[in-house]
Amino acid sequence: MKVLVTGGIGYIGSHTCVELLNQGHEVVIVDNLYNAKIEVLSYIKKITNKEVTFYEVDVCDYDAMKEIFAKESIDSIIHFAGYKAVGESVSKPVEYYTNNIYSTLILTRLMKEYDCKKFVFSSSATVYGDPDVVPIVETAKLGPTTNPYGTSKLMLEKILTDIQAANPDWTIILLRYFNPIGGHSSGLLGEDPKGIPNNLMPYIMKVANKDLACLGVFGDDYNTPDGTGVRDYIHVVDLGVGHVKALENIANDGVHIYNLGTGIGYSVLDVINTFEKVNGVPVPYKIQPRRAGDIAECYADSSKALEDLGWQATKTLEDMCKDAWNYVLSQK
């Protein structure tokens, strides 16, 4: 299968490309390098010993994307490209709505023009808003979302559902995943966002590496065991495997929705303490006020993915912390 992976040099995209190549698929990557580094392309090739086709193109550029579709004969799409920082989305809602929605509309327009009928969408647990019950199942109430990033994902799920209804022979797969962390065991791939990190694990690594003096923990007064926010952290390699399983194991048309998570909720302090224990590196932190758009607790019920796709997360929080730090050490 020839798979177009948008945002394929990014954190989740690059790990998914490795898993696709390992399973014998052809991979075409489109990435504008907004939040990624071109060296990742060579790392993907080094890990898999396989070639990929790469285009440095913005998915919002219809004409450039049309040339790619005309040339490559794409069988299916995995769409990662988009803005993804919860906190930033609160201050930049216009940018988030414009980029995330328009890029997806461009892809679906080209799918119709070039008879591509399978689309895997990188959605998010943020579509559930502040959940009434955890663990969260796919049939849980959606929204209200608490930030523009989550709202853009929820809007796109609705848009893609409407598009599939108009194209009933299409297969739309919505993967709602939780909080990916960790890195490839080779140390070549990991999370390395530009600027000050918005997510917990890269922030921890920058403090552990002494690039930053102290970690800000946003809120210790949530209704959780230690007062800090609780999330379902999933190893990024497990997440990449989940995308491949969804692509390979869903043959029938329609809209298919899956949570991808471990089903375990870890607090911010759980992650910090585990990172320190596994890696023997101190991570000084300071409690700060709650961050706009954050919720207290969110973790998954992923039993549907196990039943339908034969997928479940296999790696532990210790694995995630070890592999995340190993990536930092390998960059020195």
Ordered per-residue pLDDT tens for the chain, 332 residues:
999 999 999 999 999 999 999 999 999 999 999 989 999 999 999 999 999 999 999 999 999 999 999 999 999 999 999 998 888 899 999 999 999 999 999 999 999 999 999 999 999 999 998 899 999 999 999 999 988 999 999 999 999 999 999 999 999 999 999 999 999 999 999 998 766 777 899 999 999 999 999 999 999 999 999 999 999 999 999 999 999 999 999 989 999 999 999 999 999 999 999 999 999 999 999 999 998 778 899 999 999 999 999 999 999 999 999 999 999 999 87
Q: 244: closest CA among 92, 6, 21, 49? A: 21
List, in sequence order, every residue forming a beta bridge with 175; answer none if it has no partner.
122, 258
Which pLDDT belongs to residue 166? 98
Tell me: cis bond preceding 144? Omega within 30 of 0 counts.
yes
Q: Give residue 38's identity as a one-letter amino acid code.
A: I
Classify 118 as helix, strand or coil: strand
Alpha carbon distance 78, 3 (integer Å): 7
* pTM as predicted: 0.95
Long-range CB contacts for residues 90-97, cutoff 8 Å, separation at least 24: 90/147, 90/148, 90/292, 90/293, 92/148, 93/148, 96/148, 96/149, 96/152, 97/148, 97/151, 97/152, 97/155
Amino acid sitting at position 262: T
Residues 52 and 75: their CA atoms lie apart, in Å, by 15
What pLDDT is attached to residue 292? 78
Q: Judge whether 256 and 90 are in contact, CB under 8 Å.
A: no
User: Does residue 135 have a cis bond before it (omega within 30 degrees)?
Assistant: yes
CA distance 274 to 272: 6
Helix axes 93-113 and 148-166, enclosed angle (nearest 10): 20
Give catalytic residues, as residue numbers: 149
For residue 146, the model assigns a pLDDT of 86
Residue pair 32/4 in contact (Cβ under 8 Å)? The answer is no
Reduce the DSSP state of residue 129 to 3 states and report it. Answer: coil
Question: Other C-beta atoms within 10 Å of 10: how many?
Answer: 27
Q: Which of these, 315, 314, 322, lies nearest to 277 by C-alpha position?
A: 322
What distance in Å separates the CA atoms of residue 329 and residue 117, rounded to the nearest whole number? 42
For residue 128, give both structure tokens: 């559930």
Task: Retrieve residue 112's tokens.
Answer: 């119709």
The region that residue 24 occupies, defined by phi over 0 for left and psi between -120 and 50 for alpha, beta otherwise, is left
Burial class (CB in 10 A: 0-12, 13-18, 19+), 158: exposed
Distance (Å, whole) CA 249 – CA 214? 44
Contact 267, 297 (CB under 8 A): no
Which pLDDT does position 197 carry in this prediction?
Answer: 76
pLDDT the model gives residue 291? 85
